[in-house]
């Protein structure tokens, strides 16, 4: 039972995964730019939070930094706050 990280190419594999996720994140920027409503933009930001957690987890393996899992944990906890603020505070006319 060999795990993935025993392989010599594991670092590159994890980096490739992180890069792939980063590409999807950059593609998501297009939705933020286009809109058309504020809600669509917040949805894209929500997806960004999750993708960011994924990238951090992949990087934690690629860079052999255990602390990055903590960063991912914090991001997972706090990414929802912006969404809650949006829903509670933008009670006025939608832009």
Partner 1 sequence: MNLAFDVLLGIALLLCAAGVFYSRDLFRAVVMFIAFGLLLALVWVRLDAPDLALAEAAIGAGLTGVLMIDAVAHLSAKNAHHQGAQFDQTGARPQLWSRILPVFSAVIIFILLLGAIWWRPDAPVSLPDLVAESLPESGVEHPITAVLLNFRSYDTLLEIAVLLVAVVVAMALKPDTSEPEAGNSKDPILHGLSARLVPPMLVVGVYILWAGSYMPGGAFQGGAILAAALVFLKLAGFGIERLADSLLRIGLALGFIVFLTVATSVMIGGRPFLTYPESVAGELIFFIEAMLTFSIGLILFSLFSQAPPPVAPTSSLQGEQDER
Partner 2 sequence: MMYLQIALICLGCFFFIVGTLGLLRFNDAYSRIHAITKADNLGLGLLVLGLLPSAVNAFQGIKLLLIWLLVLVASATASYLIAHYLKQQQEGDV
Contacts with partner 2, residue ranges (CB under 8 A): 1-7, 13, 17, 20-21, 24-25, 27-28, 30-31, 37, 39-40, 42-44, 46-47, 50-51, 53-54, 57-58, 61, 66, 69-70, 72-73, 76-77, 79-80, 83-84, 86-87, 90, 94
* Distance between CA atoms of residues 59 and 16, nearest Å: 10
Q: At a CB cut-off of 8 Å and minimum separation 6, what does 94 contact? A: 37, 38, 39
Tokens of 17: 């995964």
Instruction: Show the tokens assigned to 37.
Output: 């409503």
Residue found under tokens 């809109």: 35
Chain contacts with partner 1 (rule: CB under 8 A): 12, 15-16, 18-19, 22-23, 25-26, 29, 32-33, 35, 38, 41-42, 44-45, 48-49, 52, 55-56, 59, 63, 65-68, 70-71, 73-75, 77-82, 84-86, 88-93, 95
């Amino acid at each position: 039972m060999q795990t993935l990280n025993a392989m010599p190419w594991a670092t590159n594999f994890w980096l490739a995964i992180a890069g792939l996720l980063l590409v999807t994140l950059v593609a998501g920027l297009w939705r933020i730019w286009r809109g058309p409503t504020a809600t669509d933009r917040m949805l894209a930001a929500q997806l960004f939070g999750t993708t960011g957690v994924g990238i951090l987890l992949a990087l934690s393996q690629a860079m052999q930094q255990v602390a990055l899992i903590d960063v991912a944990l914090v991001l997972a906890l706090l990414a929802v706050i912006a969404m809650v603020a949006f829903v509670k505070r933008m009670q006025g006319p939608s832009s």
